[in-house]
Structure 1
Amino acid sequence: MTSRIVSASTTIPAPAEVVFAILADPRQHARIDGSGTVRGQVTGPERLELDSRFGMEMKMLGLPYKTGNRVVEFEEDRLIAWRHVGQHRWRYELEPVEGGTRVTESWDYSRYHAVGAKALELLGYRQRNRQGIEATLVRLSEAAQADAAG
């Protein structure tokens, strides 16, 4: 059985509080999205916290749709994760390190029943999300460096 968590990490040359401020602001998610699916915020607070609910405008395979999300894990400047209707979670873990912040982004679909998880895999979500995560980390680094500079 494969792990039902897809993740990647990078070190961003910016303080954790700068990186976290971007992640905790759903209005900035389109700014850092490397998957090309996030189009903009529909509803929700300007700053997320545990149990915050927010909606996003999305587009995949040319089709627009909206998602509903709830923040299910939260530790200021260290951890934030939100859950979609499908029970999968997008998680960002931040660790201060010399020269900046080590950020690990994960797509966790471990809460799916085996059949649902297999369907996601057959539809290519593992690979698509791995590529999106890698690109998002690049964009998050660029955004955090720009915000830290000024």
Structure 2
Amino acid sequence: MVSASREIAAEPEVIFELIADPAQQPRWDGNDNLTEAAAGQRVHAVGDVFRMMVHSGTVRENHIVEFEEGRRIAWLPSEEGKPPPGHLWRWEIEPLGPAGGSEAPGGSGSGRCKVTHTYDWTNLTEEKRLVRARATTAANLLASIDRLNRVLHYS
């Protein structure tokens, strides 16, 4: 398992919206693996499934297993029509209070959050995926957080 965290000056709801809307994910994916997702798949609850096209041209189904609006979302990816092999992507947003004078996107301009991105392969059952899973680093996850921050502040 690997995690990365960074403080972002933005309202938690605004950050969460970019994560919970799969159509936005290719804009900030630090692994450069996602190409597109159809609009209208915004996640609302555990049990939701969204589909994403990856660079190999295949579709991944992502099964929501954790969800707290504005705070936490996690999914288990799988090949289309197959059960998830056990690796999990999680995003957690912790409100920290005022942004210290910098304007935060969305809302009153007072939001500041700790954003944590985790990739957990401890329950991965497919041996063929373990090498790539173990190669995912905190730097990869931090790249997604940094790109998310750029989308929030410069789009």
Provide TM-score, normalisation by structure 1.
0.80
Q: Which runs of 5 or more structure 2 residues have no equivalent in the other structure?
A: 78-83, 100-111
Structure holding more strand per residue: 1
The answer on 1:92 being equivalent to 2:91 is yes
CA distance in 2, matches of 1:65, 1:129: 23
* CA positional deviation for 1:45: 3.8
The two structures, once aligned, show a CA RMSD in angstroms of: 2.1
SS at match of 2:27: helix
Given the alignment, which residue of 12, 19, 22 partners 1:16? 12
CA distance in 1, matches of 2:63, 2:17: 17
List per-residue Cα deviations over 1:65-108 (Å, max 9, x = no partner): 22111111000111001111222111001000132110000011
* CA positional deviation for 1:129: 4.5
* CA positional deviation for 1:132: 2.3
The 10-residue stretch of structure 1 (14-23 or 123-132) with the greater mean CA deviation from structure 2:
123-132
Given the alignment, which residue of 127, 132, 137 partners 2:140? 132
Partner of residue 72, structure 2 = 79
Q: Residues 110 and 45 of structure 1: is their aligned pair in 2 closer, same or farther, counting only changes over 3 Å? A: farther
List per-residue Cα deviations over 1:92-139 (Å, max 9, x = no partner): 0100013211000001112235x839x61xx24333353321210100
Structure holding more helix per residue: 1
How many residue pairs match? The answer is 135
* CA positional deviation for 1:144: 2.1
* CA positional deviation for 1:10: 0.4
Q: Residues 112 and 46 of structure 1: is their aligned pair in 2 closer, same or farther, counting only changes over 3 Å? A: closer
Given the alignment, which residue of 123, 132, 150 partners 1:111? 123
Partner of residue 58, structure 1 = 54
Q: Which amino acid aligns with 1:81?
A: A
Partner of residue 33, structure 1 = 29
Q: Residues 20 and 108 of structure 1: is their aligned pair in 2 closer, same or farther, counting only changes over 3 Å? A: same
Q: Residues 12 and 107 of structure 1: is their aligned pair in 2 closer, same or farther, counting only changes over 3 Å? A: same
CA distance in 2, matches of 1:103, 1:126: 22
Q: Which runs of 5 or more structure 1 residues have no equivalent in the other structure?
A: none
